Amino acid sequence: MRGAMGATLAGLFQLALVFPSQGGELVRVKITNLAFVPADITVQPGDTVEWVNEDFIDHTATETSEAWDVAIPAEKSAQLQFPRAGTFSYYCRIHPGMTGTVHVIAK
Ligand SMILES: [Cu+2]
């Protein structure tokens, strides 16, 4: 019984180690009460940011120079992958007071 548990845990750890090299990790940003939480995140190239909108109204994650524009409907989520390193400031087009930053830094 104990041996079987050990084998299962070892398998899970292997999966966790292999997953990042297969297209990056998923990093979640919550949207709640008209705010990105956390507003400032750091990810690695290839990671995907998922915005989870917990508000009852629509939002967007729009890059400051509009290089990308992600619609995040009320109570839905949306994802964007960041293939390259850089610093990306974004805001919500509907509520410009909502701002955030994604730092993409290779380890
Ligand atoms: Cu908004």
Ligand 1 center from residue 17 Cα (angstroms): 35
Ligand 1 center from residue 65 Cα (angstroms): 17
For residues 80 and 72, what is the distance between their CA atoms, to the nearest angstrom?
11
Position 2 in a domain: no
pTM of the predicted model as reported, rounded to 2 decimal places: 0.79
Return left, alpha or beta for 75; rule: phi > 0 is left, psi -120 to 50 is alpha, else beta.
left
Contact 41, 51 (CB under 8 A): no
Ligand 1 center from residue 1 Cα (angstroms): 51
Which residues partner with 53 through β-bridges? 31
pLDDT value at residue 62: 98
Intervals of the chain under pLDDT 50? 1, 3, 9-21
Domain count, the chain: 1
Could you tell me the residue range of the domain that residue 94 belongs to?
24-104
Position 99 in a domain: yes
Position 54 in a domain: yes
pLDDT value at residue 23: 74
Ligand 1 center from residue 94 Cα (angstroms): 5
What CATH number does residue 69 fall under? Answer: 2.60.40.420
